[in-house]
Structure 1
């Protein structure tokens, strides 16, 4: 047999090429020829038309949306996550053999697949949940470098310039320092420079996430409305969650516009003029009028509500603030709690200072917990995730909650509840211990400015351990859960890969 394959992981580094190598070795051992297109961060060499025409089957081992997948429409297709190709490549080759044997006669590349023979099981494509996850992971894959570079530069800025580097006067201190000219001999100036560059990188997080979610859904015409929607989400205060919404709205809108029948004279300018113009206008309108304003109003309402709770049970307030700080990691709910805490510093009181300490402590938990989890149970995370975990140590120590966004976006139903529980424990303990803080930012770099710093650090450690334990338990349960399949004799069994012998086969991780 001649097989073609595509491998792609969220960051396009380690797993993309490990999966390709595993498939090549397995195909050679089975006596087949395989050509793999690695859609990695270093670019890719597309399969030729001749290779596609001669192929008997195709394998997609990808955790992100495969580019130009229409090229494979004429082939029986096996779709799996990239880890399946690394750990179960021989099984995939076997499934590809079965899919090819049960598929209709191969048509030339570029022609529609033949109808499924009578009595054969209908082709099964990837489910809606799998497609949404692939779109989301594509956006995350482009965000990760911005999180790593921007977050580490911001942390370096705090380390060199101190907590005051971002204090607002007429303008943030780092902007004032840089506008007066760069003093090579000043450590504070170097801190301001690092913080300014890191802040610039962070300003792209939401637009990049939104833009590349849209790109994964509808290709290049969706990039413009995706980026525009993400930028408006930042402007209106919709943040990370607004970026998710704008990305999916932009991608869905462009997918719909691309189905329009237009005169031949307009067809050539649709992707470069008409689609970007219409979709950007619609997405911008929706984000400004429908999404951004309600979220901003909700944020103001939450702030007022929290002000009303200031005189009540301090531990309950700390628990609530901890939940909010860890819910969306830099998004509107997080910002509502943070704004509430910072506003209290304008008229410092004992309560205001304990609230600031609780908010900062809880905000440090998400990246610290994910960093610790990647150390405690390495097998639950990919090599790229473990690399992100190493960077998350410094991000968490610097009170940069966004360091956990790649983990939360990739596995929200296990990560977000876990870090929220850890943040709640940290916020409650910080308030119970009476830790106080006068600085609005800085993480461990502002410990000398704290009241009861040992209580603050103990609260952070406790919440981090709780979140780490929960995320490891939840991921372990999902990792070990068996998948029942019918064996050759019809009895139920557990197989490493599920497949349906049909013209198109979808295998979910």
Structure 2
């Protein structure tokens, strides 16, 4: 870490009293050195990460961090607080604060910083030395590893019988390093997955050496679990489930190593770690990639939200299966489909179908967002006639605003042409892995050609995946197997899918698509209001989960054309408004009645303002995870109110994302914002009422508005005999 921290990045008298102020004070040092280019932008990225899960660790340590486009190089800043700062750790405030900044996309650099820092934090002499060091340069040297803590040096001197000035011999250092090795890699994985929400470094193992674990004090090694988490978007739920499982594992004395298969890809667990594991947990809403790696072990297979809400139960369940000897079957011969390999034998077809569809949707959503926003910007810049502009290849004037509007519109139109092929291709991928991509994309492209649209893409993806799965079950001579994935499977599957789409089912699907479009165009009055309420309920039911994604996909499918109908744009407006309600309502509730919420929830409420305004429903997850029976029903009521009012006000929206930042692109924007405000007010009121009715358990402490603990009422007044 020699280049990551210097004396200028150390503050031994950090005077901040909140984690936001601490992050700002340390970030200002990064700005002064040119390592952060935009202070406010970087702090917004830090706050967004903090909103997902607090970054405090036991032992008085806080590790705020983020990957940000405003960071020029991986940087670590350190601050020491005399009074302590609340970073959400269970054991209280943190006095040692490490601000980690990594460039956007620099996953390896991010993990390197965390792994190196975690190794040192495992050494109590190191943290004690940081608490007592009196010079910024010396503190930076300690963190870099240039100096050995005084207590450690003394121990080495005693063992070697050397003088105080010569106590850093290689033998003692090697012994000390060996003592730490058993915990170092586990610490890196724990800090990374539990406090940060990213994948363990490649090859990282619970015991520092692949497939080995340091024995416990009793001489018995702990139970080992490997887990995989994933969700349709690969952003919030994926990493929150990983953190929950890691935390629950530590509480239960179980080693848990998580592979997060997120939107940025995934780092495969070391095969030795998987081989040494006693059980497997899959918490996922899209198919687990390379699932056959985990075959033959006791396995629990659930949705990603179960990993967030009840990790302790999952650990208990997999331990029970291990005790009973229940294991999954090995991969069937010749099979290479991610769904058929491993997993619970009792998993129904409906569950598999949902995972296949969510796989396609998760890859399609970025195309929807990019294409939709570009088209909307094209209309905003060039006017509503911009769709009739000639190709910019034929006419483009640098000084004309209309030319730039036409350029954005036409780029967005090209992006939209990928929606159906990507949907179909990755549905097939979810079913049959990479061999399904070619026939899936071909079928999706044919769907566009015959005007079968979104429904045609769904059918094409399922057909392509099914055809490839059928081909893979056929016994093939050894001489031909080498060309199967490159030539035979793409050729046969594409021909079969093309025939079925063009000749057999294409026309009925196209007619069904046209009928659905006509139905949407005919919606008015009560029917439109009821549809808005239903979509609002779905958007707020699981806050970014599968039901939320179904409603969002339904809306985006309607506007995924160059000239969407008014009804389709009304549906998109209602869906986005309803999705903004839960986080904004939680933010408002924590402001209006702060005493009903914990200090951590109040901090999350500050970030929820930004997340809600940006149409990120996941901003309400920290509240729903703690109190689902009050937060989710209240959110659904407010979402239904907002969705129905948006439809009643005839608000329209061409952009599939953006929240309040695309208000200029909304039809009837003032009434739209009114619908949003009413829904937020309804949810806020219900949450406050429901939480106000909650009675604390006898003998438990409550939290006042300042976040300080107050003795229970029974302790203040004697109970009459």
TM superposition score normalised by structure 2: 0.46
Where does structure 2 lack aligned partners over 5 or more consecutive residues? 1-222, 334-343, 536-550, 588-600, 602-607, 617-635, 657-661, 685-721
Say whether 1:240 aligns with 2:449. Answer: no
Distance, in Å, in 1 between the alignment partners of 2:240 and 2:681 is 29
Candidates 398, 412, 421, aligned match of 1:198? 412
Partner of 1:157: 378
- Within-5 A mapping of 1:93-242: 93-103=315-325, 124-166=345-387, 168=388, 173=389, 175-183=390-398, 185-242=399-456
Q: Secondary structure at the match of 2:480?
A: helix
- The CA deviation at 1:142 is 0.8
Q: CA deviation at 1:198?
A: 1.9
2:578 alignment partner in structure 1: 369
Asked whether the equivalents of residues 368 and 560 of structure 2 are also in contact (C-alpha less than 8 Å), the reply is no
After superposition, residues 259-408 of structure 1 pair within 5 angstroms as 259-297=473-511, 328-329=554-555, 361=570, 364-372=573-581, 375-376=584-585
Comparing 144-153 and 326-335, the one that deviates more: 326-335
Q: Distance in 2 between matches of 1:470 and 1:271?
A: 55
> How far does the alpha carbon of each residue in 1:273-327 deviate from its partner, in whole angstroms, 9 at most, with x for none?
11111111111222222333234445667899999x9xxx99699899999x999
Contact 1:361 1:459 in 2 (8 A): no
Match of 2:284 among 49, 52, 62: 62
Aligned-residue offset at 1:469: 12
CA distance, structure 2, for counterparts of residue 276 and residue 366 of structure 1: 38
Quick one: distance in 2 between partners of 1:145 and 1:369? 20
| Structure 1 unaligned residues grouped into runs of 5+ | 113-122, 342-355, 380-384, 394-414, 448-452, 473-509
Q: 1:292 to 1:51 in 2, by over 3 A?
A: same
CA shift, 1:163, in A, is: 1.4
- 1:43 has 2:265 as partner: yes
Per-residue Cα deviation, 1:328-381 (whole angstroms, up to 9, x for no partner): 54658998xx78x7xxxxxxxxxxxxxx6x6754564333333446645799xx
Q: 1:31 to 1:202 in 2, by over 3 A?
A: same
Structure 1 165/89 Cα, relative in aligned 2: closer, same or farther at 3 Å?
same
The answer as to whether partners of 1:295 and 1:332 remain within 8 angstroms in 2 is: no
1:266 CA drift (Å): 1.4
1-structure distance, mates of 2:467, 2:355? 18
Contact 1:250 1:279 in 2 (8 A): yes
Contact 1:365 1:463 in 2 (8 A): no
Return the alpha-carbon distance in structure 2 between the equivalents of residues 361 and 320 of structure 1: 13
Secondary structure of the 1:6 match is strand
1:480-491 equivalences under 5 Å are none
Q: Residues 180 and 5 from structure 1, CA distance in 2 versus in 1: closer, same or farther, beyond 3 angstroms?
A: same
Note the C-alpha offset of 1:135. 1.1
The residue number in structure 1 matching 2:231 is 9
Q: In structure 1, how many angstroms separate the alpha carbons of the residues matched to 2:680 and 2:274?
A: 46
2:298 and 2:325 in contact (8 A); partners too: yes
Distance, in Å, in 1 between the alignment partners of 2:273 and 2:425 is: 32
SS of the residue aligned with 2:281? strand
| 1:166-212 Cα deviation digits (max 9, x unpaired) | 1x3xxxx1x434532351x3322222222222222222111111111
Match of 1:483 in 2: none
CA gap 1:305/1:36 in 2 versus in 1, 3 angstroms:
closer
Deviates more, 1:79-88 or 1:270-279: 79-88
Q: Sort the Cα spacing of 1:190 and 1:47 in 2 relative to 1 into closer, same or farther, 3 A.
A: same
Q: Which residue of 2 aligns with 1:382?
A: none
Cα distance, 1:458 vs structure 2:
8.4
Asked whether 1:31 is paired with 2:253, we answer yes
Greater Rg, structure 1 or structure 2?
Answer: 2
Report the secondary structure of 2:267's partner residue.
Answer: coil
- Pair 322,333 (structure 1): closer, same or farther in 2 beyond 3 Å: farther
1:238, 1:331 within 8 Å by CA — same for their partners in 2? no
- 2: CA distance between counterparts of 1:285 and 1:221? 18
- Alignment of structure 1 residues 442-457 onto 2, 5 Å: none
Q: Give the corresponding residue for 1:250.
A: 464
What is the CA distance between 1:60 and its match in structure 2?
0.6
Identify if the C-alpha distance between structure 1 residues 283 and 104 changes in structure 2 by more than 3 Å, giving closer, same or farther. Answer: closer
Residue 179 of structure 1: SS of its match in structure 2?
coil
| Distance in 2, Cα, partners of 1:333 & 1:189 | 23
Question: Does structure 2 retain, via aligned residues, the 8 Å contact 1:162–1:445?
Answer: no
Q: 1:180 to 1:67 in 2, by over 3 A?
A: same
- Structure 2 distance, partners of 1:10, 1:41, is 9
CA distance in 1, matches of 2:432, 2:404: 42
CA distance in 2, matches of 1:248, 1:471: 39
For residue 100 of structure 1, report the CA deviation from its aligned partner: 0.9
Q: Distance in 2 between matches of 1:85 and 1:306?
A: 37
